[in-house]
Structure 1
Amino acid sequence: MDLNLRDIRAFIAVAQTGSFTQAATRLHLSQPALTVQIRRLEETLGLRLFDRNSRKVALTPTGRDVLPLLQKSLHDMEHVLIDARALGDGASGTVRIACLPTFAASSLPELVQALKEAVPRVRFQVRDVVASMVNTLVRNEEADIGLTGGELDDANLEVLHAGIDRLVVVCPKRHALAKQRRKITLADLAATPLVLTAQGTSVRAVVDSAFANARCVPEIACEPTYMMSAVAMVRAGLGVTILPASAREVRAEPELVARPVDDPAFTRPIALIKKRGRTLPPVTEAFVAMLIAKLDAK
């Protein structure tokens, strides 16, 4: 027979009051019902917990030893129930998100702060990685949601929201592309050394596809993995780079400017995803709603 929380509460109440009558009043029970609970607990433990006669109730020596153990067990179990209810109603929990570095460095901090204000007990686990790794982390359930880029073709993943991120050319203010009045074309880019993020990144996939469809071969000067590295190389004069317009790196360097590309191919699909068939924690559902509202507002 398993221990019953009601029986443990009954034992503690009798031990604290030294009276079945007072303990029954405290617990809003009849005295016979309280007696049944104490007897059931004694049978479960195989111990006599109280010595009682017509005038008083006293803990047995074994009962005195058991009291702090059951008090701790009751305290722990009550907190388990409180914590479980908080998880169930979204009052606490952990948001596990994998996302593109662009998003992690731009919109994510503001969203994290907003949810923490609404749900102070929320925690976040953030993995800022390239798109292919975002998909892998969500697929392997190492993250519950992911904000990924590029075309998504994976039956294991469900798209919760889809959108686009426009790409721009980032170059020094003194660069010829920054000075020309017309919009930058793919032909302009083909004639300019490029600093492109490495293959496997969602931005690189868009750029490679645009050049391939135009049957153009770009001159690639460097292939860093991260956008901040690409920006540093542009600042050093190694070429120009192509980044999402939403990237914080675009605005971080006062001597660099961003210019639009006159080509519809220079847009990056983005998608908010989860693993198909998996239920999100309530606190993560709340974060998803905030995130979708943010993406729709762009």
Structure 2
Amino acid sequence: MDLNLRDIRAFIAVAQTGSFTRAAAKLHLSQPALTVQIRRLEETVGLRLFDRNSRNVALTPTGRELLPVLQKSLNDMEHVLLDARALGEGASGTVRIACLPTFAASVLPELVQALRKAVPRVGFEVRDAVASMVNTLVRNEEADIGLTGGELNDGGLEVLHAGIDRLVAVLPKQHALARRRRPVTLADLANEPLVLTAQGTSVRAVVDSAFADAQCVPRIACEPTYMMSAVAMARAGLGITILPASAREVRAEPELVARPIDEAAFTRPIALIRKRGRTLPPVTETFVAMLIERLDAA
């Protein structure tokens, strides 16, 4: 059975008005065109839906049974069409993003709030993870976009925006390097015990590469997984930790200070990515534009 929405609307209009003339006027149709639609629907159903003569139009028993069913179907389909139009116009939809924890805890909440103010019907699915997992989630289409860190060597991913995140040394205020006016150098770090985030994180990859390029081996005291753990260990005097300047954890402990590192190697590449060849939902495109503007400002 192939039901046409226009035919269903015609049937409901005639049933509600009790007149082909009034129904045609309501639908802005000629009466012959309306008659064709009703006849087509009756042929599709295989039964007469109206008893009509020169004076009145009445639903047949089949028509009476079919009326509430078709009213519900029409209402459901009109809601589907409205929802589809809203999705296409970017007035609703879900932003599915995978991102680094530093971003999820700093910039992301403000951007979510800003987009919800502009698009009240937007939803968010947020996955915060290390860079390698962010890449995997986007590649597997479990997220539409990702904010990742480190070098990106995956031809299946497209970079929508690239930037850098500078790393800083986080250490107790009473530490000798904290009291010194000039920036921290790699040579300074080489002489200190370090609390470095675990292997596989984008920050650790930058630090390891910087030390390797300088042909120097870091003195690793601890290797926590999470930045907050690294901050707590630095506060306890276990060593200096190295974190992105954008991380909220850098400012989480009043007993600690962040000092710039005077080495170009201590910068983490960051990239906003999507799977190559995939079209983003309009609401996600809006979010991407907001995010790029925020990253440029930072």
Give the TM-score, by structure 1 length.
0.98
Q: 2:291 matched to which residue of 1?
A: 291
Q: Is 1:98 matched with 2:132?
A: no
Shift in Å at residue 180 of structure 1? 2.0
Residue-pair matches, total = 298
Matches for 1:255-294 after TM superposition, within 5 Å? 255-294=255-294
Q: Percent identity?
A: 86
Q: Is 1:181 matched with 2:181?
A: yes
Q: 2:15 matched to which residue of 1?
A: 15
Q: 1:150 matched to which residue of 2?
A: 150
Matches for 1:62-81 after TM superposition, within 5 Å? 62-81=62-81
Q: 2:41 matched to which residue of 1?
A: 41
Partners of 1:58 and 1:239 lie apart in 2 by 88
Shift in Å at residue 64 of structure 1? 1.1
What amino acid is aligned across from residue 256 of structure 1 in structure 2?
L
What amino acid is aligned across from residue 239 of structure 2 in structure 1?
G
Shift in Å at residue 4 of structure 1? 0.4
Q: Is 1:87 matched with 2:87?
A: yes
Partners of 1:153 and 1:141 lie apart in 2 by 18
Partners of 1:193 and 1:13 lie apart in 2 by 81
Partners of 1:67 and 1:232 lie apart in 2 by 68
What amino acid is aligned across from residue 96 of structure 2 in structure 1?
R
Q: 1:111 matched to which residue of 2?
A: 111
* Runs of 4+, deviation exceeding 4 Å: none
Give deviations 1:236-283, integer Å, cap 9, x for gaps.
222111000011111121111000111111000001111111111111
Partners of 2:88 and 2:189 lie apart in 1 by 52
Q: Is 1:240 matched with 2:235?
A: no
| Structure 1, unaligned runs of 5 or more | none
Look up the SS of the partner of 2:25 in the other structure: helix
What amino acid is aligned across from residue 289 of structure 1 in structure 2?
A
Shift in Å at residue 78 of structure 1? 0.7
Q: Is 1:199 matched with 2:199?
A: yes
Shift in Å at residue 212 of structure 1? 0.8
Q: Which deviates further from its counterpart, 144-153 or 170-179?
A: 170-179
Q: Give me the CA root mean square deviation.
A: 1.0
Partners of 1:232 and 1:64 lie apart in 2 by 73
Q: 1:31 matched to which residue of 2?
A: 31
Partners of 1:196 and 1:59 lie apart in 2 by 78
Give the TM-score, by structure 2 length.
0.98
Shift in Å at residue 176 of structure 1? 2.1
Give deviations 1:17-41, integer Å, cap 9, x for gaps.
1111111110011111111111111
Shift in Å at residue 230 of structure 1? 1.1
Partners of 2:13 and 2:226 lie apart in 1 by 62
Partners of 2:93 and 2:49 lie apart in 1 by 39
Q: 1:230 matched to which residue of 2?
A: 230
Shift in Å at residue 191 of structure 1? 1.5
Look up the SS of the partner of 1:198 in the other structure: coil
Look up the SS of the partner of 2:29 in the other structure: coil
